[in-house]
Amino acid sequence: MTNLSTIAGIKAFGPSGLERLISELGEPRYRAHQIVRWLYGKGAGSWDEMTDVPASLRQRLSDRYTLPVPTLLDRQVSAVDGTRKYLWGLGDGATVESVGLPTPERLTVCFSTQAGCGMGCSFCATGAGGLKRNLAVGEIVDQVRLVGEDFGSRVSNAVAMGQGEPFANYDAVMGALRLMNSPDGLGIGARHLTVSTCGLVPGIQRLSGEPEQFTLAISLHSAVQETRDELMPGVKASDLHQLRAAIVDYTAATGRRVSLEYALMAGVTDTPKQIDSLRNFARGLLCHVNLIPLNPVAHSRHSPASTKRAAEIVRLLDKSGTEATIRTERGADIDAACGQLSQKHVGN
């Protein structure tokens, strides 16, 4: 966080960091809530707007911290389903993408937690470019807030399924989720906030101990160790035994169900052997399997499984007592689906 405060200014602070900062300045704690309301509830772009914060405090804060707001560099709207994809520019020139997925009842925002990603998954467009840097707390919250503003409606759900591995940037992501959840911030229900991880066990263990009921999704993609290691080289240190045990412990501690994300890649993750292993992995877990039709990514050797095979897999999982659904594709015409956020249209 310290290094990021030069780039992100006040946006480097989560709710507890802001409270600490305010108390160090000898101010009452409620000032921190006011500032959160201005920054995230109202989206203030300058210290001057914070009219109920004393001018002297505003001055001291502005002497120390900048108040950057992401710049919209590009926005694409799907003609098919109204999905919108955004490219944001951050203080140091880093760029990240977010997606807004509207339905009549909901507005879901898919946000990024890192610029790039260091996990190197072979099927993912973000993974191919490597990690640029972690995002600061406010850089994460701002994406969700700004997408809501663009739609002119309340964001009902937000998912950390954009660029980056949330548990590789745990503290900032947790601070951001708390600000999204806070009535001073975006006021989104904790259960409607989802963090998706490639399966970093220490992160799952930490999340088990958090008081909020955030939702957890785990990108499994293969329950065969060798295949998973090939597809997801960055997560080798957390093997499938440890991962399954962490899920069991998570459910015991929280009583909550996890989603297992499983991208169907023809001949790689949809074979009888793979599906047997998936059924064994999921059997007895409090989980829901989300079968994702693979989004083909440039230069990737993987191709999607057939829809017929996907339907068969749902039936096979059902037979072994595991609930599964096939995720519907959104924003296909603007490459807004999972794993396709790669900023290719700006040439990096």
Least spacing, CB of residue 117 vs ligand SF4, in Å: 3
**Stretch in the footprint of ligand SAH (CB under 6 A) among 49-57, 70-78, 130-138, 194-202:** 194-202
Q: Is 121 in the site for ligand SF4 (CB under 6 A)?
A: yes
Interface stretch with ligand SF4, choices 38-46, 49-57, 158-166, 324-332 (CB under 6 A): 158-166
Q: How many residues does the chain have?
A: 348
Buried b (16+ CB within 10 A) or exposed e, 170-181: bebbbbbbbbbb
* Residue 292 touches which member of ligand SAH, ligand SF4, none, C-beta under 5-8 Å by kind: ligand SAH
Nearest Cα residue to 298 out of 253, 340, 247, 238: 340
Q: Which does 161 bind (CB under 5 to 8 A by kind): ligand SAH, ligand SF4, none?
A: ligand SAH
Which two tokens mark 198? 């490639």
Contacts for 45 with CB less than 8 Å, ≥ 6 apart: 67, 69
The yes or no reply on residue 263 touching ligand SF4 (CB under 6 A) is no
Does 324 contact ligand SAH by CB under 6 A? no
Asked if 115 touches ligand SF4 (CB under 6 A), the answer is no
Task: For residues 55 and 61, give the distance between their C-alpha atoms in angstroms, rounded to a whole number.
Answer: 10
- The verdict on 142 binding ligand SAH (CB under 6 A) reads no
The angle at the Cα of 82, spanning 80 to 88, to the nearest 5 degrees, equals: 120
- Answer yes or no whether residue 161 interacts with ligand SAH by CB under 6 A: yes
How far apart (Å, rounded) are the C-alpha atoms in residues 58 and 95? 29
Identify whether the C-beta of residue 14 lies closer than 8 Å to the C-beta of residue 176: yes
Choose which of 10, 174, 198, 324 interacts with ligand SAH (CB under 6 A): 198
Residues linked to residue 212 through DSSP beta bridges, in sequence order: none
Compute the CA torsion angle 111, 116, 119, 123 (nearest 10 deg): 80
Residues linked to residue 258 through DSSP beta bridges, in sequence order: 287
- The structure tokens 């989004």 sit at 295
Q: Is 231 in the site for ligand SAH (CB under 6 A)?
A: no
Residues numbered 122 to 141 that lie near ligand SF4 (CB under 6 A) are 124, 126-127
State which residue, 38 or 123, has the beta carbon closest to ligand SF4.
123
The yes or no reply on residue 117 touching ligand SF4 (CB under 6 A) is yes
The catalytic residues are: 97, 338
Q: Where does this chain bind ligand SAH (CB under 6 A)?
A: 117, 123-124, 161, 165, 196-198, 219, 261, 263, 292, 294-295, 297, 338-339
Q: Where does this chain bind ligand SF4 (CB under 6 A)?
A: 117, 119, 121, 124, 126-127, 163-165, 198, 219, 339
